[in-house]
């Protein structure tokens, strides 16, 4: 077995584990989603009241995952994932939900959260398939939409003097 796939898997796991969120694109646009890394895959909770939306993540399809750096936000690694919904009540679902519950911030119903997730939400497993994807050329930033909005006018010429006076007064 080549060393490159092993290094790719290690890079995917470490980067995704340490990142607070991942950008996921299924059939629609990319979305920033919080997650946990468990048993070699990213796990998400969503599509329920008060939870993050998971549009475009269809069971059995693939998704592109981009992992940003936690401190700078720059793209660290991109990888293709197989999307799989976990069925409530299974051992895999219970394990994932136990970890997700510990990471869920500001839950309105912490005591009944897992029961609500079983009734109303989806737990999705994103399993890496293949190697990492090469970084694309350019920034991939979208062209801004045309608008009649404008930027503000330049600062008045006397403003720097006024601000400097305030600093002098507050410094004494």
Residue 13 has pLDDT above 90, yes or no: yes
- Asked whether residue 145 is domain-assigned, the answer is no
- Asked whether residue 158 is domain-assigned, the answer is no
CB atoms within 10 A of CB 58: 14
Residue 2 has pLDDT above 60, yes or no: no
**What domain range is 87 assigned to?**
3-136
Query: Is there a contact between 98 and 39 (Cβ–Cβ < 8 Å)?
Result: no
Confidence of residue 156 (pLDDT cuts 50, 70, 90): confident
- Asked whether residue 26 is domain-assigned, the answer is yes
Query: Is there a contact between 20 and 88 (Cβ–Cβ < 8 Å)?
Result: no
Q: Report the pLDDT value the prediction gives residue 132, as an integer from 0 to 100.
A: 86
Q: How far apart, in whole angstroms, are the C-alpha atoms of residue 86 and residue 16?
A: 20
Residue 124 has pLDDT above 80, yes or no: yes
- Asked whether residue 129 is domain-assigned, the answer is yes
- Asked whether residue 153 is domain-assigned, the answer is no
3-state class (DSSP) for residue 133:
strand
Residues paired with residue 123 on neighbouring β-strands, in sequence order: 45, 86
- Asked whether residue 122 is domain-assigned, the answer is yes
Mean pLDDT of 97-117: 90
15 by Cβ neighbours in 10 Å (0-12 / 13-18 / 19+) ranks as buried
* Highest mean pLDDT: which range of 26-30, 77-81, 127-131: 77-81
Mean pLDDT of 51-61: 93
Structural domain count, the chain: 1
Q: How far apart, in whole angstroms, are the C-alpha atoms of residue 122 and residue 164?
A: 56
Q: Which residue has the tokens 């992992």?
A: 67
Residue 5 has pLDDT above 70, yes or no: yes
- Asked whether residue 39 is domain-assigned, the answer is yes
DSSP alpha helix (H) spans, the chain:
3-18, 91-103, 113-120, 159-171
CATH code for position 87: 2.30.110.10
- Give the strand order in the sheet containing 36-38: 31-34, 21-25, 62-68, 75-86, 122-133, 41-46, 36-38
72 versus 93: the higher-pLDDT residue is 93
- Asked whether residue 62 is domain-assigned, the answer is yes
In the chain, what percentage of residues exceed pLDDT 90? 56
Nearest to 87 by CA among 97, 73, 79: 97
Mean pLDDT of 2-6: 67
Residue 16 has pLDDT above 50, yes or no: yes
Query: Is there a contact between 126 and 65 (Cβ–Cβ < 8 Å)?
Result: yes
Q: Which residue has the tokens 């119903």?
A: 109
């Amino acid at each position: 077995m080549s060393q490159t796939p092993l290094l790719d898997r290690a890079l995917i796991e470490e980067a995704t584990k340490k990142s607070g969120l991942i950008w996921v694109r299924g059939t629609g646009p990319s979305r920033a989603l919080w997650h946990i890394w468990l048993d070699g895959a990213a796990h998400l909770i969503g599509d329920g009241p008060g939870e993050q939306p998971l549009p475009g993540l269809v069971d059995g399809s693939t998704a592109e995952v981009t992992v940003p750096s936690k401190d700078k936000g720059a793209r660290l690694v991109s990888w293709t994932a197989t999307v799989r919904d976990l069925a409530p009540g299974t051992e895999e679902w219970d394990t994932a939900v136990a970890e997700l519950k510990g990471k869920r911030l500001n839950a309105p119903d912490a005591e009944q959260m897992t029961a609500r997730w079983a009734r109303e939400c989806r737990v999705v497993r994103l399993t890496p398939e293949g190697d990492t994807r090469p970084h694309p050329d350019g920034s991939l930033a979208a062209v801004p939409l045309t608008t009649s909005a404008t930027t503000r006018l330049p600062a008045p010429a006397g403003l720097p003097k006024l601000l400097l006076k305030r600093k002098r007064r507050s410094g004494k």
